[in-house]
A and B are shown apart, each in its own frame.
Chain A
Amino acid sequence: RKEVEQDPGPFNVPEGATVAFNCTYSNSASQSFFWYRQDCRKEPKLLMSVYSSGNEDGRFTAQLNRASQYISLLIRDSKLSDSATYLCVVFYGQNFVFGPGTRLSVLP
């Protein structure tokens, strides 16, 4: 089993849609959780950290369920500019472990 798994994608959604990404991780000792965004042929950049209490940043909401070892990202009112690959990242031990990413295309 891979350490971090994500929805395979790609997700093609119309502008204004709500889209949810799922991520699971295998190591129960994982300490911190993040979503990174990677535009085509660019480097990954931090989108948001994920906390057990859930957190929201504008149109983006992240949730963490430690018992199920599950992380989610919800994007509301999708914009064309949201088109990118979304990487789920887990920190444990001393390392950041990246999932394979889920590609999102928001269509006009």
Chain B
Amino acid sequence: EAGVAQSPRYKIIEKRQSVAFWCNPISGHATLYWYQQILGQGPKLLIQFQNNGVVDDSQLPKDRFSAERLKGVDSTLKIQPAKLEDSAVYLCASTRWATGELFFGEGSRLTVL
């Protein structure tokens, strides 16, 4: 079974530029999460999708972050404009059911200069 796929693995941009990350979850997993992990901290939830609907986006900085999951499969997370404090690893995870095991992708490491 293929794992969670994410791209790009690494991205370096200057502040105020935009960036987009892509995630393809494990086939059949209805729930998809985007987490932000700053160095030395645990992952922090940005947004949760159930199929193509948003379950929780309360911690998503909506003035600069947006995410979508069209057709209930893959998802895109966008940051525009980026700030220095957005430097982090963006982890995508999926689960088959709401309380099941979280399967993470390898993450997209963002550096904002």
Contacts and interface: CB of A to CB of B under 8 A. Distances in A.
B14 interface: no
B102 A94 contact: no
Given A31-B99, A43-B91, A91-B99, A98 B104 contact: no
Count class of interface residues, chain A: 20 to 34
A97 interface: yes
B55 A94 contact: yes
A94 B42 contact: no
Contacts of B45: 95-97
Contacts of B35: 98
Nearest to A103: B40
Taking chain A's interface residues, is the majority helix, strand, or loop, or is none over half, making it mixed? Answer: strand
Contacts, number: 43
A95 B48 contact: yes
A98 B48 contact: no
B97 to A, nearest CB: 11
Nearest to A98: B42
A44 B106 CA distance: 9
Contact of A95 (B56, B91, B104, B105): B56
B46 to A, nearest CB: 11
B52 to A, nearest CB: 16
Contacts of B105: 43
B72 interface: no
B44 interface: yes
